[in-house]
Amino acid sequence: MLDALDESIGRVVEVLGNAGMLGDTIIAFSSDNGGSPFGPFSNRGFNWPLRGAKRTLWEGGVRVPAFVWSSKFLKKPRVSDQLMHISDWLPTLYSAAVDQRPQKTSGQVVLVIESTQ
């Protein structure tokens, strides 16, 4: 699964690079929240070593991996373990693209992306 994800993202990066658009692109990926071990849509998934599963409030049901890539990160890459809610994606990506916080949004800017220029 991760190999397929890596190959797919690699193809997207290659196409953007060939088109000369990679320098102005932010690539964001986020996963779904946990395996579904029960119910009509069960895939017999589990989230070990985390407790819980999809539709639970334990870490196995709410914690998801995500990454954001931009050429602006090349000089100062970082890893963050801070909490982020789905409502934080819009103001965070908007502030990276426009360099200001959007008006009238409920989320927070959780990652400041400095310009490399």
Asked if 9 contacts 28 with a C-beta cutoff of 8 angstroms, the reply is no
- Please count the structural domains in the chain: 1
| pLDDT of the residue at 19 | 97
Question: Pairing state of beta strands 66-70 and 26-30?
Answer: antiparallel
Is residue 116, in this structure, part of any structural domain at all?
no
- Sequence-separated (6 or more) residues with CB below 8 Å from residue 20: none
- C-alpha 110/C-alpha 112 separation (Å) is 7
Tell which residue, 82, 90, 93, 94, has the closest CA to residue 107: 90
Position 44 in a domain:
yes
Residues 6+ apart with CB under 8 A from 72: 96, 113, 114, 115, 116
108 is a domain residue: no
As a whole number of angstroms, the distance between CA 20 and CA 43 comes to: 40
What is the reported pTM?
0.72
In a domain, 107, yes or no: no
**pLDDT for the residue numbered 7:** 94
In a domain, residue 62? The reply is yes
**E-strand spans in the chain?**
26-30, 66-70
Whether 31 is in a domain gets the answer yes
User: So what's the pLDDT on residue 18?
Assistant: 97
- pLDDT (tens, 9 = 90+) of the chain, 117 residues, equals 678 888 999 999 999 999 999 988 999 888 877 777 666 766 666 677 888 777 788 888 888 888 888 887 777 777 888 888 889 988 888 888 887 777 788 888 887 666 544
Residue 48 lies in a domain: yes
Whole-number Å distance between alpha carbons of 39 and 20: 46
Does 113 map to a domain? no
- Structural domain span for residue 49: 2-98
